[in-house]
Structure 1
């Protein structure tokens, strides 16, 4: 029965692709949720385009957060950068201190409406889980392996690239997974500042009291989150097996 979860994920992926590419097929299922002969399928834009733009926004913000958070984690785990740990923790906690809506409100006057304020909010919100997991991964390495690398004559840079980062990768991926899932949901509020995300569908449903719009926007985001979460879990297990650090 081990293959059942895989079949379920493939079925969910197939349904997601079918819905965003041919939403009209599902209109009979959503029609009972509408009132006054309102459209059951979002008709103010392409669901496929909005989905791709939503994913692009999340991907850009996550990549930026990975670069900064992992860079800070590497810095504070080096002898010359240990004193910056409290400052680094304060910096990555900024996104968790302010709600995303507040970040959007502060960013709009500076960068204008559209995707940019959403990217700023997602970037700040995604720093903490990536930083903390990278820090944990780099500070819980097997001491005997690190000592063996040092004894083999590796330079600090070589140990970092060839030993420390690969060993810490499973834990770091867990932080990225958490950050991505949070960002997928948080990105929906970007539509309040004219960013092109799936939040546009949900907001349109709320404004017109159309439950079908709200449901389809929410279900697409949820399905993507589940698939990406499971994908990262598989990557974590694969990395852990390769490094001999299975939990």
Structure 2
């Protein structure tokens, strides 16, 4: 009887990790063994002399892609969550509509347009695509931070104040933990979208997984396009499944609490 109870949580944890491991494994296979699938890509592009992108190793492109998305994510999470917290406080409530509009403004401009405007100022390379990703990924984080904090019931905050907590303690120990699943959902959306959007950086000299796609479009080689798109899709699915796992763990902890 005790063995069945001890095995059940392990099986549940294994089920949670199933999809991250599957997508991560497929991503690893695609990055390391792309050349093994040359016969398949030869079928896609039978008339091309070269069907496997080899100007840079895919694991190098993957690292560059993750670096760009990671830097943009750190900035957007920091700015978005702090802005959401600031305007949900009494002193900053007057700026709530302004923050919402500024965050929305980033998604009214297509990333291509942001790149076109940023390149003359910032030059070619990684910086323009990071700026574009920050602007494009800010809205989901700000919106979900506002929603999560505003949905915390007033009775809970009142009870926390009655227990002698300071406003900072209420925010840190009550509001943010309760709002965390909603905030994390916004971060998940932002990061997943930016994984795909980061491929545009290849058009301005920021080498990443967009390189095979752009090269394939320029040279009319669909095999290159498929390789870049497949790797980006597997990366997005891996990261998204990891966020889903984290959201489930947060929900289970809140339910237990």
Smaller-chain TM-score bracket = over 0.9
Quickly say closer, same or farther: Cα 1:75–1:5, change in 2 above 3 A: closer
| Residue correspondence of structure 1 range 103-182 to structure 2 within 5 A | 103-182=114-193
2:104 is aligned with 1:93: yes
Q: Residues 38 and 51 of structure 2 are in contact (CA less than 8 Å); yes or no, is this contact kept in structure 1?
A: yes
* 1:45 counterpart residue number: 56
Query: Which 5+ residue runs of structure 2 have no aligned equivalent?
Result: 1-10
**What is the SS of the residue equivalent to 1:195?**
coil
Instruction: State whether structure 2 residue 202 is matched by structure 1 residue 191.
Output: yes
Q: Structure 1: any 5+ residue segments left out of the alignment? A: none
Matches within 5 A, 1:162-241: 162-241=173-252
Question: Residues 19 and 25 of structure 1 are in contact (CA less than 8 Å); yes or no, is this contact kept in structure 2?
Answer: no
Query: Would you say the 8 A contact 2:20–2:242 is kept in 1?
Result: no
Aligned 8 A contact 1:38 1:210 in 2: no
Deviations 1:51-74 (A, max 9, x none): 111111011101100111111100
Structure with the greater relative contact order (CA < 8 A, sep ≥ 6): 1 or 2? 2
Q: Does structure 1 retain, via aligned residues, the 8 Å contact 2:192–2:236? A: yes
Distance 2:46 2:56 in 1: 21
Compute the TM-score of the two structures, normalised by the length of structure 2. 0.90
Deviation for aligned residue 1:245 = 8.8
Q: 2:77 aligns with which of 66, 88, 104?
A: 66
Residue equivalent to 1:13: 24
Question: Residue 158 of structure 1: CA displacement?
Answer: 0.9
Question: Residues of 2 paired with 1:32 and 1:9: CA distance?
Answer: 30
Q: Distance in 1 between matches of 2:155 and 2:242?
A: 31
Task: Tell which deviates more after alignment, 103-112 or 145-154.
Answer: 145-154
CA RMSD of aligned residues (A): 1.9
User: Which region of structure 1 is more displaced relative to structure 2, 24-33 or 158-167?
Assistant: 24-33
Of the candidates 34, 37, 41, which is equivalent to residue 26 of structure 1? 37
